[in-house]
Amino acid sequence: MKSAKTAIVLALSSILSFAVAGEIKPFNQPDFDKLTQEGKPVVLDVSAPWCPTCKAQKPILDGLMKDPAYKDVTLMTIDFDSSKPVLKAFKVNTQSTLIAFKGKQEVARSIGDTTPAGIEGLVKKTMN
C-alpha cells in the first residue's frame, strides 16, 4: 500500500512540475510566428552538438526552463549545422547564440555566454 501511495505522489509531482515548466522544442517558423504574434516570451538557442560552449549553456537553460518563474517562456532550439536559412534570417553567424524575444521584438542577444546570471538575465528580458 505504501508503495502505491509513493507512486501516486511521484506521478503527481511529475505532472505538476511539467505544468509549471517552460517548453523546450525545436524551432519551426509557424510556431515561432504564432508565439511572437501572441506576445509570448521566446528564446532561440542556436547550438551545435560539437560546441563546448553550447554544452556549457545547455544545463543552465534546461534548469531555467524547469523554474516556475519561466513557465511561460518557450525555448526553441536551432541546430547551427543544419539550419542555415534560419540562421541567415536571424542574422546569426556563430553557434552558442541566444536570442530573446518579447512578442515580436528582439530584446536581447548573447554569444558565448556561459554564466548562469548572464543567461538568466537574457531570459528575464522576455518577461513583462
Report pLDDT for 8.
54
127: CB partners within 8 A, 6+ apart: 41, 70, 72, 73, 102
This prediction's pTM: 0.84
Q: How far apart are CA 79 and CA 127, in angstroms?
A: 25
Q: Say yes or no to pLDDT of 1 above 90.
A: no
What fold characterizes domain 22-124?
Glutaredoxin (3.40.30)
First to last CA, the chain: 46
pLDDT at residue number 17: 45
What pLDDT, on the 0 to 100 scale, is given for residue 5? Answer: 56
Distances (CA, A) of 113 to 32, 38, 55: 23, 28, 11
Q: Domain segments of the chain: what residues?
A: 22-124
Span 84-113, pLDDT tens digits: 999 999 999 999 999 999 999 999 999 999
**Grid cell locating 106:** 528582439
